[in-house]
Amino acid sequence: MNNTFRSDNRVGWLMAAPALTGLGLFIGLPFLLALILSFTNLKLASPLPLTFVGLQHYARILQDPVFLRALLNNLIFAVVVVPAQTGCALLLALLVNRKLPGMVVFRTLFFLPVIFPFALISVVWMLLYAPGPNGVINSVLELLTFGFWEPQDFLHNQFLALPAIMVVSIWQGAGFQMIVYLAGLQDISEELYEAARLDGANSWQQFWYVTFPCLRNTTLFVVSVTTILSFRLFDQVQIMTKGGPLNATATVVFEAVRAAFERQQIARGSAMTVVFFIIVLCLTIFQRRLVSEDRRVG
Amino acid sequence: MQTQKIFYLHAAHLVMACLLITLSVSGCTPEAETDKQVVTVWAHSGQGGERKVLMDQVQRFNEEFPDFHVELTLLPEGSYNSQLQSAALSHDLPDVIEFDGPFLYGYVWQNQLQPLDDLLPAAVQADFLPSIIKQGTMHDHLFAVGMFDSGLGMYGNKALLEAAGIRTPTSVDDAWAAEEFNQVLNKLAAKDQDGAVLDLKANYRGEWFTYAFSPIIQSAGGDLIDRRDYLHAESVLAGKEAVRAMTTLQDWFEQGYVDPNLDDAAFVEERVALSWVGHWEYPRYAEKLGDKLMLLPLPDFGQGSKTGQGSWQWGINADARNAKAAARFLASLLRPESILAMTEVNGAVPATKTAIARSPLYKEGGPLRLFVEQLRQSSVERPRTPAYQVITSVFQQAFDEIRNGADVQKALHQAAAAIEQDITDSEGYRSVPRS
């Protein structure tokens, strides 16, 4: 039975209307437009008549080595950043969840990077990554390795540029996930720990058999949000590396912006965003399925 | 029921309030002054000095010609072109538009500009540096003119060059040949602590790389696009001349001659002996180096030393209600006094011969005279095609790849292919009649 449109649901729909209108206007409509435009020859401010070119743009971008590299970079980024950032967030949350005086200061400090805009953070980190022995990170590494570290130009090295961006992203994003984990941690009943202690569990066992299982839903939420965010990687690339060197840091969103706004090829950029949307949609559906299966079992 | 009544009451109040606001706003608009011809002008809000000079010019024009009224709107530079583009789409462009040089050809393609051939006095047109006319012309019509042009060259540190026993060229004609320049770098590096002796402003972004380094391709006999028909790129951009020139440039990076210059202070701190940059660095360099500063032409890769050109331009909207008044305003901007006031604050090359003769930096014997000579003889305007947006973007990408050690032939071939594809997609940028 489909009860969605029953008359006593009307109030519900009415209340959802503002949000649904916003979603439709700012997400649904632009996506629909992108989908339509991706089949045309549209260029920004071109006086040529609009013609339909079919799947041409899709065929081209899927053969374009730079776009494929961008997809691969996004994938590598997600594979590394999602577990690393989630792990860091959990660690931080465990650290600041202790009931010690002054903990609020630490929570604020760890959360601080989240509230700064990425543009600002990127500029600051560019200074930290400065090459040569005067760069902060280079000199710290030199000190830690007793002078064995050779100063690197992180952002212009094709093997170090993407990892360098990953580090910034993890540092910036972990604070937000930490807060989510903190909420999850504080939701776990103290009685469970008490029972575990009575059973003689040490603190590692308490974490593994009480904390971690209780955080399952929080973890799933954090992982899916981080995955989506990590696919949206753009600001850092735009400011720190412009996709270089040798396309080592090009991402799908960066390539789409470059096509649409730098080269005025709106149709090509639209096709890229559609491909990107489909990938993120698949990932989200996959993760939703994981979550729902979990709930059924639990 | 009571709550419903209150809701309606609130809704009615809201509608009333909205109506009142609309009425009062429309009531406040001042009556248009019917006896004056209004000329609307959009310009980019540059450095403080440039802004002030422009505002002074507008004020002076309005005082001098009481029949006209120029309304100047300054827009931030960062998003300037996109704001212009959106205004163009909705046919809201002002009468007089300022834009960065390379965008000209796109505006002409979109039929946004009208020719200035008959609007600007012939005497003013004849006074321009040839580079201004070259850049402003498309389809045999002059569409835009600038108050100034740019100069690109190489600043040298006399003391360091002399210490290494290097011959310094004095004019475009005796520029270092590419091989000789390699020896220069080699000699300088031998005396340098870290071997990095050349500043290519590798810390700059975007348009710089096309502006600064396409001249070496042109000097070698290649180009960004075949200028006979503006349809093909492969043979000139990925031809053997271009590949040779870019391979030489790649070699400078690989030999470690290029200072990454992250602090933008490589030249003023005398870490390097040579700095490949434009006129805008002169004030800072002159202050720090004093008598040690010298200006040199870029190396000659076979077909003579070439250099870049082009800066901000002014054009008149095709829909301008009063093109004559707009042209009057442009002519007033192009008076020698206005040009000199502007170039005094931004240091650029004055656009007219009269102004140059009066400029202490650029007149005969002035320290930056070389820039004028170059603009007369050896500067190459950016390709006069709407495809330039794509050309410069793919060239920048190719440059990044070459600088980081990629195969030069392959990088240039990919760039050329992307340019040709865009041209085909745009039906050769054929002219489209105004609808």
pLDDT in tens, B232-255: 999 999 999 999 999 999 999 999
Q: Does A130 touch chain B (CB under 8 A)?
A: yes
pLDDT averaged over every residue in chain B? 90
Q: Does A6 touch chain B (CB under 8 A)?
A: no
Provide the shortest C-alpha distance from residue B105 to chain A (in Å): 12
Q: Does A43 touch chain B (CB under 8 A)?
A: yes
Helices A103-115 and A65-96 cross at an angle (nearest 10°) of 160
Task: Report the chain B residue with the minimal C-alpha distance to residue A57.
Answer: B425
Structure tokens, A48 = 């040529």
Q: Does B81 touch chain A (CB under 8 A)?
A: no
Q: In this structure, are residues B299 and B305 in contact, taking their beta carbons and an 8 Å threshold?
A: yes
Contact B110 A47 (CB under 8 A): yes
Q: In this structure, are residues B129 and B372 in contact, taking their beta carbons and an 8 Å threshold?
A: yes
Contact B393 A258 (CB under 8 A): yes
Q: Does A47 touch chain B (CB under 8 A)?
A: yes
The whole-model pTM stands at: 0.86
* pLDDT tops 70 at residue B3: no
Residues of B in contact with A158 (CB under 8 A): 404
- In this prediction, residues B95-102 reach a mean pLDDT of 92
Chain B contact probe: residue of A40, A50, A136, A156 with most B CBs at under 10 A: A156
Give every CB contact of residue A20 below 8 A, 6+ residues apart in sequence.
none
Size of interface A-B (CB pairs under 8 A): 60
Task: Report the chain A residue with the minimal C-alpha distance to residue B194.
Answer: A132
Q: What is the pLDDT of residues B174-190, one digit of tens each?
A: 999 999 999 999 999 99
B377, burial (CB in 10 Å: exposed 0-12, middle 13-18, buried 19+)? middle
Q: In this structure, are residues B76 and B95 in contact, taking their beta carbons and an 8 Å threshold?
A: no
Q: Specify the 3-state DSSP secondary structure of B297.
A: coil
* pLDDT tops 90 at residue B118: yes
Distance CA B19, CA B235 (A): 65
Structure tokens, B188 = 């300088």
Q: Does B5 touch chain A (CB under 8 A)?
A: no
The number of beta carbons lying within 10 Å of the beta carbon of residue A65 is 9
Distance CA B214, CA A3 (A): 67
Q: Does B432 touch chain A (CB under 8 A)?
A: yes
Minimum mean pLDDT range among B100-104, B252-256, B389-393, B417-421: B100-104
DSSP code string of B318-338? TT-TTHHHHHHHHHHHTSHHH
- In this prediction, residues B366-374 reach a mean pLDDT of 95
* pLDDT tops 70 at residue B370: yes
More confident residue, B310 or B85: B310
User: Which pLDDT score, from 0 to 100, does residue B28 have?
Assistant: 42
Distance CA B149, CA B362 (A): 12
Q: What is the pLDDT of residues B9-49, one digit of tens each?
A: 555 555 555 444 444 444 444 445 557 889 999 999 888 88
Nearest to B308 by CA among B285, B331, B280: B280
Q: Give the per-residue SS3 of chain A.
A: CCCCCCHHHHHHHHHHHHHHHHHHHHHHHHHHHHHHHCCECCCCCCCCCCCECCCHHHHHHCCCHHHHHHHHHHHHHHHHHHHHHHHHHHHHHHHHCCCCCCHHHHHHHHHHHHHCCHHHHHHHHHHHCCCCCCCHHHHHHHHHCCCCCCCCCHHHCCCCHHHHHHHHHHHHHHHHHHHHHHHHHHHCCHHHHHHHHHCCCCHHHHHHHHHHHHCHHHHHHHHHHHHHHHHCCCHHHHHHHCCCCCCCCCCHHHHHHHHHHHCCCHHHHHHHHHHHHHHHHHHHHHHHHHHHHHHHHC
The number of beta carbons lying within 10 Å of the beta carbon of residue B31 is 5
Distance CA A219, CA A87 (A): 10
Nearest to B289 by CA among B152, B403, B157, B427: B157
**In percent, how much of chain B has pLDDT > 70?**
92
Closest partner CB to B88 (pick from A45, A131, A244): A45
Instruction: State which residues of chain A have pLDDT below 50.
Output: 1, 296-298
Distance CA A145, CA A143 (A): 6
Contact A265 B422 (CB under 8 A): yes
Helix (H) or strand (E) holding B180: helix B178-191
Distance CA B175, CA B215 (A): 14
Closest partner CB to B404 (pick from A66, A245, A262): A245
Q: How confident is the model at residue B358 (pLDDT cuts 50, 70, 90)?
A: very high
Burial B167-184 (b: 16+ CB within 10 A, else e): eebeebeebbebeebbeb
* pLDDT tops 90 at residue B163: yes
Structure tokens, B388 = 């330039």
ipTM surpassing 0.85: no
Q: Does B85 touch chain A (CB under 8 A)?
A: yes
Q: Specify the 3-state DSSP secondary structure of B434.
A: coil
Q: Answer left, alpha or beta for residue A247, where phi above 0 means left and psi between -120 and 50 means alpha.
A: left
Q: Does A69 touch chain B (CB under 8 A)?
A: no
Residues of A in contact with B92 (CB under 8 A): none
DSSP class of residue B47? S
Q: Give the per-residue SS3 of B196-265.
A: CCEECCCCCCCHHHHHHHHHHHHHHCCCCCCCCCCCCCHHHHCCHHHHHHHHHHHHHHHCCCECCCCCCC
User: Which pLDDT score, from 0 to 100, does residue A216 have?
Assistant: 87
Residues of B in contact with A247 (CB under 8 A): 401
Q: Does A245 touch chain B (CB under 8 A)?
A: yes
Closest partner CB to A48 (pick from B262, B400, B427): B427
Q: Specify the 3-state DSSP secondary structure of B300.
A: strand
Chain A contact probe: residue of B200, B385, B404 with most A CBs at under 10 A: B404
Q: Does A271 touch chain B (CB under 8 A)?
A: no
Task: Report the chain B residue with the minimal C-alpha distance to residue A46.
Answer: B110
Distance CA A71, CA A253 (A): 10
DSSP code string of B384-429? SSTTHHHHHHHHHHHHHHHHTT--HHHHHHHHHHHHHHHHHHTGGG
Give every CB contact of residue B359 below 8 A, 6+ residues apart in sequence.
B340, B343, B350, B366
B274, burial (CB in 10 Å: exposed 0-12, middle 13-18, buried 19+)? buried
Q: In this structure, are residues B371 and B153 in contact, taking their beta carbons and an 8 Å threshold?
A: yes
Structure tokens, B143 = 């569409």
Contact B109 A44 (CB under 8 A): no
Q: Does B106 touch chain A (CB under 8 A)?
A: yes
* pLDDT tops 90 at residue B134: yes
User: Which pLDDT score, from 0 to 100, does residue B13 have?
Assistant: 58
Task: Report the chain B residue with the minimal C-alpha distance to residue A156.
Answer: B404
Q: How far is CA A185 from CA A223, A225, A291, B167, in A?
A: 16, 18, 19, 73
For residues A67, A70, A74, A75, the Cα torsion angle rounded to the nearest 10 degrees is 70
Distance CA B361, CA B148 (A): 13
Chain position carrying tokens 């989506």? A228
